Amino acid sequence: MRYRTLGEIKKKGYVRGDRLVTTEWLAKNLKDPALRILESDEDVLLYDMGHIPGAQKIDWHADLNDQVLRDYVSSERFQELMRARGIDESTPVILYGDKNNWWATYALWVFELFGFQNARILDGGRMKWESEGREMVTDVPKFPPTSYVAPERNDKKIRAFMKQVQTHVEKGGKLVDVRSPQEYSGERTHMPEYPQEGTLRGGHIKTARSIPWARAANADGSFKNADELRAIYEAENGLAKTDDVIAYCRIGERSSHTWFVLTYLLGFKKVRNYDGSWTEWGNAVRAPIAVGTNP
């Protein structure tokens, strides 16, 4: 299947609109035998309650994260996952999920750590599909396993570690905190309506700009158009396509959404996701923090 930027997506003016598909397009292509649809949710029970026909489940914790280390799965485990889902390098994959595609973009980011480039995001995700009254089913599809061979995971290009973030801050690099304003200011240590746990201190990494991830999404879960996104990230917050940008949140899920926006929708050249995020930084001994609002 050859991807191209769809008309509805093209109108939104993205640099890489081919990394998105619409709900209309997916509805018309559900019966394509080559296609694999993957649902990745924060609420891992949602899939069992109903999902897009033909969709398979990706559990962000059990399938993508190592169960002992705080790290992602090995290439061997990723290989097993892809083979079991009937996916190889040539397989077109559509990812979608709840929370305006938080976990769908997170899954795509992890896929790209292994060099997998054939995945797209369903614009609007589960919310838009359901709001349009499109079909949901509970049966779980089965596909023939593949012989996919996963390369070694590459953590250098799109992933940042704590020491790299420290060096980035010292050099005056651009840092984006995508959490809620209350988390950024130090008023809260977790998202609103969630238990306040996970870190010993509230606040943000020094020099980080507060640009909440959800500002990039419309009410229906779809991405705002390119002009609206440029107004937020470039005009309002001074980011440029040539900047070296690191995004972070609490554990890297919300910041993967911003990574996707900056990398593919706006065409930024170097964006990394700091998945250690505030859970690591806010608990680390002698890690400098700041409190308050954007300077």
Asked whether residue 91 is assigned to any structural domain, the reply reads yes
CA distance 221 to 22: 12
Predicted TM-score (pTM) of this structure = 0.95
CA distance 30 to 51: 12
What confidence score (pLDDT) does residue 292 get? 85
**Of the residues 131, 153, 170, which one is the last residue of a structural domain?**
131
| Choice among 122, 249, 251, 265 that is catalytic | 249
Pair (176, 218) in one structural domain: yes
CA distance 143 to 126: 22
Which amino acid belongs to residue 73? V
- Cα–Cα–Cα angle for 106, 161, 256, nearest 5°? 20
Asked whether residue 2 is assigned to any structural domain, the reply reads no
Pair (167, 285) in one structural domain: yes
CATH code for position 26 = 3.40.250.10
Pair (127, 167) in one structural domain: no
- How many domains, in total, are found in the chain? 2
Least Cα distance to 158 among 116, 101, 124 occurs for 116
The tens-digit pLDDT sequence of the chain (295 residues) is: 445 667 889 999 999 999 999 999 999 999 999 999 999 999 989 999 999 999 999 999 899 999 898 899 999 999 999 999 999 999 999 999 999 999 999 999 999 999 999 999 999 999 999 999 999 999 999 999 999 999 999 999 999 999 999 999 999 999 999 999 999 999 988 877 767 667 888 999 999 999 999 999 999 999 999 999 999 999 999 999 999 999 999 999 999 999 999 999 999 999 999 999 999 999 999 999 999 887 6
Pair (98, 179) in one structural domain: no
Pair (115, 179) in one structural domain: no
Residue numbers of the domain that contains 44: 7-131
**Of the residues 131, 154, 170, which one is the last residue of a structural domain?**
131
Pair (207, 108) in one structural domain: no
Asked whether residue 146 is assigned to any structural domain, the reply reads no
Pair (241, 284) in one structural domain: yes
Burial of 160 (0-12, 13-18, 19+ CB in 10 A): buried
Pair (89, 193) in one structural domain: no
Asked whether residue 36 is assigned to any structural domain, the reply reads yes
Which residues are 247's β-sheet partners? Answer: 176, 273
Pair (126, 224) in one structural domain: no
Asked whether residue 295 is assigned to any structural domain, the reply reads no
Asked whether residue 138 is assigned to any structural domain, the reply reads no
Asked whether residue 185 is assigned to any structural domain, the reply reads yes
Asked whether residue 15 is assigned to any structural domain, the reply reads yes
Task: Check if 249 is active-site.
Answer: yes
Which residues are 159's β-sheet partners? Answer: 273
Pair (286, 168) in one structural domain: yes
Could you tell me how far CA 122 lies from the centroid of its own chain?
12
What confidence score (pLDDT) does residue 190 get? 80
What confidence score (pLDDT) does residue 1 get? 47
Pair (177, 284) in one structural domain: yes
Pair (256, 172) in one structural domain: yes
